[in-house]
Structure 1
């Protein structure tokens, strides 16, 4: 027992020093990533760490740190940078525990870095085979890791869940999460860990898969439970009470062939007091509701928020944001838990801004809809009926009515995509990386392809975007980014910022009255969280999509950005994403007050338009093959063969690749991620595709010469 005041002061000082040392720098071997449930639940007691994907289980992405604040943020300088191995899309949220940063880059590579200086402590490469690249819609991205009791957990692009020793990076166990390897399943989302169970979903709805979420024992990797999000073969008994309920909302049995969709590819949050796990569910497969379910039924649990018991995987409740979804309006977007006052009464709520353009506030205990209002322009529905909880649909949005192509907003990229939003309890505002866009939708009369690995199958006609730079520029003007400071109690924007390009980064808010965000055009910016005043800006050489984090080491606050351009926007909508005018350079860039480091200069890309073989196809043939190209190749190489700058631009093919064009389409570059299309394309079709690429190269040359 400490008896004297001096001894008590000495003991307190020793204790404070011990605590400071324990959280000051990289942990000693054997104690790295020593995180459990109580530590995450009590995260505000150690705000210098970033222990979970959204910092806390409620996924608010709010930091109590205030050393960097609205009065001194203009003094931020570079603390350190770390170059990632591969220059493709970077979407990870780093985890920082006791001075060590754990993060991921493209191809699911895991990095452990000294959070003070960026020194590499270890690296784990899961050796994903390149041939699986074509099985994902949106590049080989990865949204990060989870940590738990000395281990680091990562989902790999080819569908594995891997546990690593947090001190060494050595593999402890690995499990295959995929139920059917004949389908194009991928994993890009960050695992979450709740009550000793590692939770992971998957992607692949556009390729014809059935969605589900699986829980694995964090210690052993043994499967604990699996929650399917759409029903399986109606000739077989439903796997659960939830699937028995869902089956009543599907018609026919075509969805069995088409997969059904409903993939859980990103968002989750958890309320430890209510013991409810909240899961966001994705779109249908195919998008065309008539192909999928005879045009009938709500198709649960597509585009839904579902509450699950994390102990058993049993269903609690659900709310479907887009019944019978036919627009790719996933509800996989970030979900935030908070306690806010609504009409003078404090409510425990769940908040989401999914793709469909409406901001939802739900009672997170029961799933009751409390409010829903548009946060971006949306013409597919006029409003949400508060009596029924259902959207009131419009004729403009119903492209299945046989009335031709419909220009629908938001587009398939959504009013908000995967980029995380944040909530600041001090301002009461949610900061949404929103975007405005439109898409021309028209159904196929008959399915173009049967479900096939690496072939996107939506049940829609391929967009016939005119090959006219002026029209492309006009469409770009219709697609813009917007940062919204949204009041969820009043359902209105308090302030907003507009960007020329969509696909800007996730947000971080802090107790220092700051809001941080990266942009598609290669900047990182700090705003005053209350007013939106721009306070600080730096260029970082490449587009920023991921959300930043902040942490402390040795009492010094850092702000970290994962930098790297890519994803669905650059792949599919090349003509639009070029407005960002940035190159894919992937790195970790970290700032601190009075930092003296520097960002390495951008690498220039100098390309000459190559000579091409003779163009022999007729104008009529080329018009028809454009649709074929956009359907098969446009989802990676860009519509009309205009790349967004990450996947190779086919207009710059070398002489050697022109000579081997059919071979490349037949699998010659399978080891580089190029799919084999020989099972669905005839040699004559391959030659027409080659002719189209030659034509687009000639178009580019003429445009350059004209300028």
Structure 2
């Protein structure tokens, strides 16, 4: 680690003077808070996720207690930012379900179930999550996992209109929150890992009529181009990229500037990830991993900035974007700030797209720095060495993922939920993986490199290697002001308040309150599960509340199984709401018996077991975890009982469990390969059983 990065780990400098600081002369009891709602995804139009409420502050946050909780009706991941409008809390859960709750008491007012076909689970990369709803003019808008945009009556939850925004025959899903842009509602989609072409669509608020659509990557030139911009950017692509889909899905971040009339779009990774396969002759591949500004009323292109030209690591630019007015070099500038996956923090002029700053907020082995003259990263010599041994940082998980950050105007700091997860990429070793359409997933790399080693202390190694922490970043100086201690991966989104507080869920299933200026932990509460989503705050009748939607899941619970599987984090999908003096309690966490019954013996040859391992990693590991180490959300196949093994072919190749998300893999897995996977499952199950027996025998 270089000296600058070492200094970051210990930095704890004050961030300046807060506006109107609290003084000892104030009354002992907290003053009444002005009534305040949370109407937009990021609270204000700039999505700064900062609240001016200060009844809960650094002097009394230790008196914060649970006011009420509400149990959702599903047990998958929860990533939603709630909205609070006119005394009602609107929050979405997994499978795009929407709950309207009394913001004072938690009483259910109405519930909406879009009835998404569970078979769609296999068409997405990262769980059937939903990051929130939008609100405008008495309507609640939600994007559904199966690609619809639905408008609901905010009063009773009745459906006002329902439009299909995607081709249901392709692997499109929606997990992001819609955004309101003037008299339009805008939604993107996901699916780049599964071979789709990205775009954003705007619809009229009242009718659901399509107003415009903006494609983020060019399609087949033989079909013509949808806009002059796409015809121009097609020159940055080579080969037959459209056969792979191209990618560029806008699966999360968008932000609307009503003053400029611009909508800013954060564009995702390529399909496939591997640049050599997607665009064999090279090229920057616009608008992948770019921030694109379009006219909100028409969808016409205005400007773009690409964070990672020739993207090949899954370094999306779909992470949270913040709009703010900052003074740079003595001049006021309207800026856009983002900390995308690639590890650099960007400050752009949001009027022109000019790059103002780009500084590393994490270890970046792929690039040494960003050249401010050209705006391009300077790649390291081994940046694109994918031999299964070279370690890349950040990984495809990113130095910062979808978890929202926050900008505090008083401290001038941006609070970033960051993580460190190394990865080893490996070029495809099988010719099949060098061609499009060879599986539901095909990122163009060989996942064998990600099988965790068979180490007796693997859990300790993973906890030490894969880490997360909260960063307090100074966007003007491009440096860290303070950072929380390294902890387990899993830190959630962030909220800052004028009470000199920063709230975030930790990887230890705790909701934490930090001192915004120093980073000192002032309060914590056991949430019993991960709080991945960002908290919000609001005030009713002079009382301030803190709300967060919790529930373990998302992409980490499936694909990042080796990191999380041993931690036994339960999925308890809930809404938790706090206030000063709150006295409510949560029920005990259900006990989980993970004792593995003795598995059936392995009967296959070494060659068959190795084949099963390869096929498993190619098709199964995205949901069931590398090396069968799932995070707990999807079944750990090592615990499969006799009934599952007896029906193995029907499950894998005939879609027996399609209603639960396990669709047929017959197009990609023949009968012999399915049996090889089963034998590999038995091999790993017997290894786990042996370890459990040895641990039991060695227990005093």
Q: What TM-score range do you get, normalising by the shorter chain?
A: over 0.9
CA distance in 2, matches of 1:644, 1:454: 23
Shift of 1:297: 0.7
Verify the 8 A CA contact 2:255 2:264 in the aligned structure 1. yes
Change (3 A) 1:326 1:633: same
Among residues 558, 564, 567, which one is paired with 1:577 in the alignment?
564
1:359 maps to 345
| In the alignment, structure 1 residue 455 sits paired with structure 2 residue 440 | yes
Q: What is the rounded CA distance, in whole Å, between the counterparts of 1:447 and 1:317 in structure 2? A: 38
Segments of 5+ residues of structure 1 without an aligned counterpart are 1-44
CA 1:514/1:125 → structure 2, altered by over 3 Å: closer, same or farther?
A: same
Distance between the aligned counterparts of 1:343 and 1:463, measured in 2? Answer: 49
Matched-pair contact (CA < 8 Å) for 2:244–2:437:
no
Are the equivalent residues in 1 in contact too, given 2:611–2:673 (CA < 8 A)?
A: no
How big is the alpha-carbon RMSD for the aligned residues of Structure 1 and Structure 2? 1.5
**Map of 1:166 onto structure 2:** 154
* Cα offset, 1:610, TM superposition: 2.4
Deviations 1:80-134 (A, max 9, x none): 0000111111000000001100010000000000000100000000000011111
- Shift of the alpha carbon at 1:379? 0.4
Distance 1:285 1:508 in 2: 33
Shift of 1:656: 1.0
| CA distance, structure 1, for counterparts of residue 259 and residue 48 of structure 2 | 16
Q: Which aligned pairs between 1:31-70 and structure 2 lie closer than 5 A?
A: 48-70=36-58
Does residue 412 of structure 1 match 2:400? no
> Once the two structures are superposed, what CA deviation does each residue of 1:46-78 show, in whole Å capped at 9, x if it has no partner?
761000100112000000000100000000011
Q: CA deviation at 1:578?
A: 3.0
Q: Does 1:700 align with 2:688?
A: yes
- Asked if structure 1 preserves the Cα contact closer than 8 Å seen for 2:341 and 2:394, the reply is yes
Contact 1:486 1:495 in 2 (8 A): yes
Q: Check the 8 A contact 1:124/1:169 in 2, yes or no.
A: yes
Query: Do 1:521 and 1:580's aligned partners in 2 also have CA atoms closer than 8 Å?
Result: no
> Are the structure 2 counterparts of residues 524 and 578 from structure 1 closer, same or farther at C-alpha, using a change threshold of 3 Å?
same
* Match runs of 1:517-556 below 5 Å: 517-556=504-543
- Which residue of 58, 61, 69 maps to 1:73? 61
Please give the per-residue CA displacement for 1:562-606, whole angstroms capped at 9, x wherever unaligned: 110111112112111236541111100110000111112111111
For residue 469 of structure 1, report the CA deviation from its aligned partner. 4.2
TM-score (norm 1): 0.91
Q: What's the TM-score once normalised by structure 2's chain length? A: 0.92
Alignment partner, residue 600 of structure 1: 587
Tell me which of 116, 125, 149 is aligned to 1:128. 116
Instruction: Quickly say closer, same or farther: Cα 1:449–1:649, change in 2 above 3 A.
Output: farther
Further displaced range: 601-610 or 532-541 = 601-610
Distance 2:35 2:616 in 1: 50
**C-alpha separation between the residues in 1 aligned to 2:650 and 2:34?**
57
Contact 1:260–1:286, Cα closer than 8 Å, also in 2: yes
| Contact 1:348/1:364, CA 8 A, preserved across alignment | yes
Counterparts of 2:485 and 2:438, CA distance in 1 = 38
Q: Which segments of structure 1 move beyond 6 Å, counting only runs of 4 or more? A: none
Q: Report if aligned partners of 1:289, 1:295 keep a CA contact under 8 Å in 2.
A: no
2:610 maps to which of 618, 623, 631: 623
Q: 1:91 aligns with which of 79, 82, 85?
A: 79
Q: Decide which of 607, 621, 641 is 1:654's aligned counterpart.
A: 641
* 1:314 and 2:300 correspond: yes
Per the TM alignment, residue 625 of structure 1 is displaced from its structure 2 partner at its CA by 2.2
Q: Which residue of 1 aligns with 2:25?
A: none
Q: Provide the residue aligned with 1:669 in structure 2.
A: 657
Return the alpha-carbon distance in structure 1 between the equivalents of residues 532 and 600 of structure 2. 38
Report if the CA contact (8 A) 2:35-2:540 is conserved.
Answer: no
| Structure 2 gap segments, 5+ residues each | 1-32, 696-700
2:356 alignment partner in structure 1: 370
- State the alpha-carbon separation in 1 of the partners of residues 436 and 64 from structure 2: 51
The residue matched to 2:531 in structure 1 has which SS?
A: coil
State the partner residue of 1:431.
415
Of 241, 251, 263 in structure 2, the residue corresponding to residue 265 of structure 1 is 251
Q: Counterparts of 2:251 and 2:603 in 1: how far apart (Å)? A: 44
Question: Whole-Å Cα distance in 2 between the matches of residues 562 and 520 of structure 1?
Answer: 15
Give the corresponding residue for 2:314.
Answer: 328
Q: Secondary structure at the match of 1:668?
A: coil
- Quick one: distance in 2 between partners of 1:695 and 1:256? 40
Q: What is the match of residue 382 of structure 1?
A: 368
1:405-427 superposed Cα distances (whole Å, 9 cap, x missing partner): 42111000000000000000000
What secondary structure is seen at the aligned counterpart in 2 of 1:346?
strand
Q: Figure out how many residues of one structure are paired with residues of the other and give that number.
A: 659
Aligned to 1:30: none
* Structure 1 residue aligned with 2:22: none
* Rounded Cα–Cα distance in structure 2 between residues aligned with 1:579 and 1:395: 36
Paired position in structure 1 for 2:29: none
